[in-house]
Structure 1
Amino acid sequence: MYWYNTIKETFVTTSVLLLLSGSYACNKPEIKETGAELKYFDLKGYFKQQADQLKQANPEVNKSVAHNGTTEAKKVHITAWSQELNLFAESDINKPAWRSSYAVKSNADSIIYTALSPELKTRQVIIRKNGANVTEIAIFNSAHNFLYNTTERLVYMPGKYYSIDKNQKVKVMGANDYRIKGNF
């Protein structure tokens, strides 16, 4: 449990630094969606729906958390699914300013969105489907500025598992690797 508290403290400290430095990295104001038709897959809506379904089903999850190679695992019932899946929902690419910012490649069983500009945090979103059903979502995020570098690999397979792999390199504080995996 000691390392869990250490992760939490490190994450809070890193988050504060990232929030403070975020204003330097942003060069485009966020424009809120005002009922306009979505151009890309609705990640925010999809993960809200998944969070609602999981909250109602209340499945037991085999969850493991790793920080710099130290791992702890336990079976839990997660009560705040919208918070647990928040990084997935935050990777939504349906902002009006980004309507032409992603290349779209689709075939019978997948859609791949790839960022056209290096400034965009969400670099790639891969949606795999079986007919109309989503079978997997993989998201690759990357953010860099003069204080930190962060990369994230998020994978969600409905009814099977979700995983979050995050690597942060913060000047002065060093590097941190995080991995969270929940098996349903």
Structure 2
Amino acid sequence: MSWFKKTHSILILIAALTACKSADQAPDIKNTYFDIRGFFNSEASRLSASKPMVAKMITDDSTSEKKNIRIANWENELALFSASDINKPSWRDSYEVTQKADITTYTAVEEGLRTRLISIKKNASGKTVLIGIHNKTSNLLYSSEESLEYFPDSLYRIEKHQDIKLLGAHRYVIEGKLR
């Protein structure tokens, strides 16, 4: 039985040593498409530091509420935008990229992808001035469509339509104007 313990210990040691890699050996993964997640993480950090006042309006079906607030957690506030990131290794060829003047558009070529369309508009100096995103999810019990718009330093808008078979349709809009 002692030979088993020695062999077992040696195998564990070899496995542990071969599994370890230093940070400089990690593969350098390049983004195929515009880095939505990185862009919105950067925006969340920037907005958290500048703490702008936001005129926020929430419309839920037919009722609206408007408040002037400071957003405490910008990462959470922009989470739907970040969740629309299309830079996943398995999606490398899943979007058609078209470039027209100052607008780059990413259109899903596969029906099952949640993020259907991303449009990015840049000004003459290359700064992003508008990001538009359209998401769609559908199955037997549930369908959802989201239209997201983000104008840096100005406005963000989230419009969502949901239809849950047993509960019916629901629509809400969140709009934040940065001041």
TM-score range, shorter chain: 0.7 to 0.9
Kindly state the Cα deviation for residue 132 of structure 1 after the two structures are TM-superposed.
Answer: 1.4
Kindly state the Cα deviation for residue 108 of structure 1 after the two structures are TM-superposed.
Answer: 3.3
Q: Distance in 2 between matches of 1:42 and 1:171?
A: 35
Q: In structure 2, what is the equivalent of residue 123 of structure 1?
A: 116
Which one of 139, 143, 159 corresponds to residue 145 of structure 1? 139
Q: Distance in 2 between matches of 1:37 and 1:107?
A: 23
Unaligned runs of 5+ in 1: 1-33
Kindly state the Cα deviation for residue 165 of structure 1 after the two structures are TM-superposed.
Answer: 0.1
Question: Which residue identity is paired with 2:44?
Answer: A
Q: In structure 1, what is the equivalent of residue 66 of structure 2?
A: 73
Identical residues among aligned pairs (%): 40
Unaligned runs of 5+ in 2: 1-26
Kindly state the Cα deviation for residue 35 of structure 1 after the two structures are TM-superposed.
Answer: 4.4
Q: Distance in 2 between matches of 1:126 and 1:96?
A: 21
Kindly state the Cα deviation for residue 107 of structure 1 after the two structures are TM-superposed.
Answer: 3.2
Q: In structure 2, what is the equivalent of residue 18 of structure 1?
A: none
Larger gyration radius, structure 1 or structure 2 = 2
Taking structure 1 as the reference length, the TM-score comes to 0.80
Q: In structure 2, what is the equivalent of residue 11 of structure 1?
A: none
Deviations 1:69-105 (A, max 9, x none): 2100010000100000000000000000000000000
Equivalent residue runs for 1:21-40 within 5 Å? 35-40=28-33
Taking structure 2 as the reference length, the TM-score comes to 0.83
Q: In structure 2, what is the equivalent of residue 22 of structure 1?
A: none
Q: CA RMSD in A?
A: 0.9
Q: Distance in 2 between matches of 1:36 and 1:58?
A: 33
Which one of 163, 166, 171 corresponds to residue 157 of structure 2? 163
Q: In structure 1, what is the equivalent of residue 8 of structure 2?
A: none
